[in-house]
Amino acid sequence: MLSSPFITTPTSVNQIMLRVLLALIPGIALYVWYFGPAILVSITLASITALATEAVMLKLRDRPIKPFLSDHSALLTAWLLALSIPPLAPWWLVVVGTAFAIVVAKHLYGGLGSNAFNPAMIGYAVLIISFPAHMTHWLTPHALGGIELDFAQQLSYIFHGTLPAGLTLDAVTMATPLDTLKTQLHLGLSVSEIRDMPIYGRLAGHGSEMVALGFAIGGLYLLFTRIISWHLPLVYLGTLFAVAGIFHVFDPTHYVTPLFHWFSGAAMIGAFFILTDPVTSPTTAKGKIIFAAGAALLTYLIRVFGGFPDGMAFATILMNICVPLIDLYTQPKVFGKKDGLL
Amino acid sequence: MRTLHHFHGGIHPTSHKSLSTHQSIARAPLPKSLVIPLRQHAGEAAKPCVNVGDHVLKGQRIGTPSATLSSSIHAPTSGTIASIALHQIAHPSALPDLCITLIPDGKDTWIKREAVDFLALSANEMQQHLRDFGIVGLGGATFPSDLKLRHPIKVDTLILNGAECEPYITCDDMLMRERASEIVRGIVILRHALEAGEVLIGIEDNKPEAIAAMHEAVSAAQLDYAVVAVPTIYPGGSAKHLIKVLTGLEVPSGKLPTDIGVQCFNVATALSIKRALDDGEPLISRIVTITGNVEHPRNYEALIGTAFSDLIDLSVAKRDTNRYIMGGPMMGVVLPAVNVPLVKSSNCVIAASDTLFPPAPPALPCIRCTRCAQVCPAELQPQDLYWFAKSNNFGKAQEYSLADCIECGVCAYVCPSHIPLVQYYRYAKSEIRERSAEKLAADKARERHEYRQFRIEREKQEKAEKLAQREAASKAAAVVAPSTPSVDDTQQIRINEAIERAKAQAAEAHPKNTDALTPEQQAEIASIEARRAKIRELATDAGADDEPHKTS
């Protein structure tokens, strides 16, 4: 180095990204355990697409390919997106979503560090708006003992769109627990009646609650190794708990428990892995708290009163828009400029 | 046990201090020649007060203060003045500065040294004495110590800075271990001079020997000074941060510690104050750590003006050494050449190699992870300042308190994208300085011009009035003797006015006082320009996503 400091920590962007990928593994492992290996196919597809589009975009933008490709940021986008798409989705859905995330949401905004929106969430939003039907066929957990496809049959559906004779897609898939909750509430059932349905487990959806727990474990690892700061996940989960708690206490027949909200849908992976994307979240401590609380509130409102079963992605994107403003108005006082000094 | 406070951020780099603390301080041999820069302190360079060929004694004054913010320079040994000329100094710009070269006669004959009873001195006499003896802060800033005693506000707390937070550097540590009683004597003088209340001696807890030695010296002198072990954290030795840790008080931005009733001196400064008064010895030597990639890392007591190369030779640099850093690895500068002279601020030289300090990998874009903000002791938002500096948005950088950046380097230390952040801040600061200087010059030129316009206008009016009077007079006279001189008169006045206008225009075309500069001014301009060019170069080199690093 030409000037001081001459020493640095060995921490690098690719190490940080690698740790985050590592922290996703408990959740993915539980996913495979409860729903079968199809998710690994979409993760692989998304990874290949992400690396390929990232390389092409770097080339087109005349940026060095090797250091940027090895920063693992594209892989992280790919994994997060794959985890929010139904595993049995046709292959092109994963490819289109990932390509959009990398090309438009990341590189057209200036690449690593310059994107205003979380690329994975943009990819997800594009898919759920453009192909809503494909985004609702989720796998049934093994434990429910319904008709199950074996891995070869899953592959056949993903790549050729063909199912074994006599089976329809509806027979082998189901809506998400949040989606089912919403539909059944509309049909006039009470929360306790809905919760008695076999797809629900102790906290939330059978199987999916355990996957959420896996993400929480990975998230806590990130928290304790200080890869992420506490502000975003804790404030997000805390606010979600508080809001859901208030509604639940006042009307438990129509509003599920706060724990149900925690362990449903994308709340856990969102709190620890999506909101915490440093590029698209505020930089100040106060800003992070506002951002996370806003995202939690929006998640709850969209889930309960909005048109989509889950609200994590849209809540994230809406809060991403506010980041520059939040940062501007939450600048901390610097050393020697605090109130009450001379 | 005292309650200590803490400041935001900071880092814990590996200290590497034990390298150079195994051996006691060694006295460096008398070199063949000494090159003594006339600017070794904050402010204006000293004026030489000897001539080439003069024989001087050890401790004789050879440079006198040239301004309020200036100090004296002394001959470190007896000998002959060989030259007073420009010489390369330990400044990263590699630009020369005025230095006195002294050829020692080998006798090391002192001037007459007289002890002064500090209790008998008035405040003014004490300040004058320190000024005459060239006492400046040895912690790095080399601020003239006499000026630090001059502040009118009462000092409640006198703090002695023995924190020495930068890795590798051990000169204060060794000084406290070996010369604690002299330091304590210096503190007695300082406390008297400042009429200070309590005295706190802050030493980082990674120096237990120094803490013990200072404890012992304080209790041997039966004083109530508190030797306080402060947590080892970089940059805990920054005066403002040590004050915060010890007192919980924050020095307001742009203010001095005395504004909150605190004054802070480095322990080595205290010792040199003791020598100036008790022993009649001016500041002509200091302790310097020679460490890093050398066979025998050690501390030396060396005369000011000794070439670093002489000291490095004593410690024997290892073969793969490829550069030398003056100061610590966090804030030090690369020496432009190894034969530049030791000055009052030189606390350490680290022999560096690519193994010891591996070159940083290519910088990646900032991902706003805010690890820098988490460690910044000035509580700035380094990621924002970087962004503003990079986009030349200096107004915004100032708004985000760039001026409060102490350039400690912790932001760059933790940056996972390996962005040389401090270089960006130095660049932005120098641009801001330059622009405000330009603005000041432009403002002055405009004021001059406006005054000139006003004056011309006023003269015109006066002439017109005179003319009117004269015309009235001549009309009165014409009644007696009709003639036509008044026409000539008005023409003449018009001609004069035209000449005046032309002169004014010529002056306008030359609004700035850019010629007839003194050599010093020219040298200063050249040095500023060179520094700016260098910083700009560094900043562009570092611009990762502006200037892609091609790896193929």
Cβ burial B224-253 (10 Å sphere, 16+ → b, else e): ebebbbbebbbbbbbbbbbbbbbbebbbbb
pLDDT in tens, B291-323: 999 999 999 999 999 999 999 999 999 999 999
- Write phi, then psi, for A132 (nearest 5 degrees): -60, -35
pLDDT in tens, B57-87: 999 999 999 999 999 999 999 999 999 999 9
Cis peptide before B96 (omega within 30 of 0): no
SS3 assignment for B469-532: HHHHHHHHHHCCCCCCHHHHHHHHHHHHHHHHHHHHHHHHHCCCCCCCCCHHHHHHHHHHHHHH
Three-class secondary structure of residue A301 per DSSP: helix
Burial of A45 (0-12, 13-18, 19+ CB in 10 A): buried
pLDDT at A76 over 90: yes
Hey, is the C-beta of A67 within 8 angstroms of any chain B C-beta?
A: yes
Within 8 A by CB and 6+ apart from B472, the residues are none
Instruction: Tell me the residues of chain A between 242 and 271 that have a Cβ less than 8 Å away from chain B.
Output: none
Hey, is the C-beta of B259 within 8 angstroms of any chain A C-beta?
A: yes
pLDDT confidence of residue A4:
87
pTM value? Answer: 0.84
Q: What angle do CA B161, B163, B166 make, to 5 degrees?
A: 125
pLDDT confidence of residue B517:
64
Q: Among the listed ranges A119-128, A176-185, B201-210, B489-498, which one has the minimum average pLDDT value? A: B489-498
Total residues belonging to chain B: 552
Q: Are strands B226-230 and B198-204 parallel, antiparallel or unpaired?
A: parallel
**Amino acid in position A38:** A
Total residues belonging to chain A: 342
pLDDT confidence of residue A281:
96
- H helices of B113-199, where? 123-132, 145-148, 171-178, 180-194
Q: What pLDDT band is residue B518 in, cutting at 50, 70 and 90?
A: low
Interchain pair B368, A283: CB under 8 A: yes
B64 within 8 A of B42, measured Cβ to Cβ: no
Hey, is the C-beta of A44 within 8 angstroms of any chain B C-beta?
A: no
Block residue for tokens 């390509």: A99
**Where are the extended beta strands (E) located within B213-322?**
226-230, 262-266, 285-292, 298-303
Nearest CB to A13 within list B252, B373, B417: B417
pLDDT in tens, B211-262: 999 999 999 999 999 999 999 999 999 999 999 999 999 999 999 999 999 9
**Set of chain A residues whose Cβ sits within 8 Å of the Cβ of B398:** none
**Amino acid in position B480:** V
What single DSSP character describes residue B203?
E
pLDDT confidence of residue B512:
52
Hey, is the C-beta of A284 within 8 angstroms of any chain B C-beta?
A: yes
Q: Please choose, from the candidates A326, A325, A223, the residue with its C-alpha nearest in 3D space to the C-alpha of residue A271.
A: A223
The more confident residue out of B525 and A204 is: A204
Q: Please choose, from the candidates B34, B74, B83, the residue with its C-alpha nearest in 3D space to the C-alpha of residue B56.
A: B74
Q: Among the listed ranges A320-329, B175-184, B214-223, B454-463, which one has the minimum average pLDDT value? A: B454-463
Interchain pair A331, B381: CB under 8 A: yes
pLDDT in tens, B89-142: 988 777 899 999 999 999 999 999 999 999 999 999 999 999 999 999 998 889
pLDDT at B150 over 90: no
pLDDT confidence of residue A108:
96
As given in the structure block, the two tokens for residue B293 are 């990639």
pLDDT confidence of residue B487:
58
Instruction: Tell me the residues of chain A between 100 and 119 that have a Cβ less than 8 Å away from chain B.
Output: 110-114
For residue B546, count other CB atoms closer than 10 A to its CB. Answer: 10
Closest residue in chain B to residue A111, using alpha carbons only: B365
Closest residue in chain A to residue B12, using alpha carbons only: A9
Q: What pLDDT band is residue B539 in, cutting at 50, 70 and 90?
A: low
pLDDT in tens, A109-152: 999 999 999 999 999 999 999 999 888 888 888 777 777 788 88
pLDDT confidence of residue B400:
95
pLDDT confidence of residue A301:
96
pLDDT confidence of residue B217:
97
Q: What pLDDT band is residue A321 in, cutting at 50, 70 and 90?
A: very high
pLDDT confidence of residue B125:
94
Q: By percentage, how much of chain A surpasses pLDDT 90?
A: 71
Interchain pair A335, B364: CB under 8 A: no
Hey, is the C-beta of B551 within 8 angstroms of any chain A C-beta?
A: yes
Cis peptide before B48 (omega within 30 of 0): no
Interchain pair B416, A65: CB under 8 A: no
Give the domain ranges of chain B: 17-287, 288-352, 366-472+502-510+526-547
pLDDT in tens, A78-117: 999 999 999 989 999 999 999 999 999 999 999 999 999 9
**Set of chain A residues whose Cβ sits within 8 Å of the Cβ of B259:** 342
Instruction: Tell me the residues of chain B between 380 and 399 that have a Cβ less than 8 Å away from chain A.
Output: 380-381, 383-384
Three-class secondary structure of residue A62 per DSSP: coil
**Set of chain A residues whose Cβ sits within 8 Å of the Cβ of B420:** 1-3
CATH architecture of B17-287: 3-Layer(aba) Sandwich (3.40)
Nearest CB to B255 within list A63, A279, A342: A342
Interchain pair A65, B551: CB under 8 A: yes
- Write phi, then psi, for B448 (nearest 5 degrees): -60, -45
pLDDT confidence of residue B548:
43
Query: What is the Cα–Cα distance from A140 to A87, expressed in whole angstroms?
Result: 11
pLDDT confidence of residue B99:
96
Nearest CB to A5 within list B381, B413, B549: B413
**Set of chain B residues whose Cβ sits within 8 Å of the Cβ of A114:** 365
For residue A340, count other CB atoms closer than 10 A to its CB. Answer: 6
Give the domain ranges of chain A: 13-174, 175-329
Q: Which helix (H) or strand (E) holds A15?
A: helix A13-35
pLDDT at A211 over 60: yes
pLDDT in tens, A25-50: 999 999 999 998 999 999 999 999 99
Handedness of CA A140, A146, A150, A155 (dihedral sign): negative
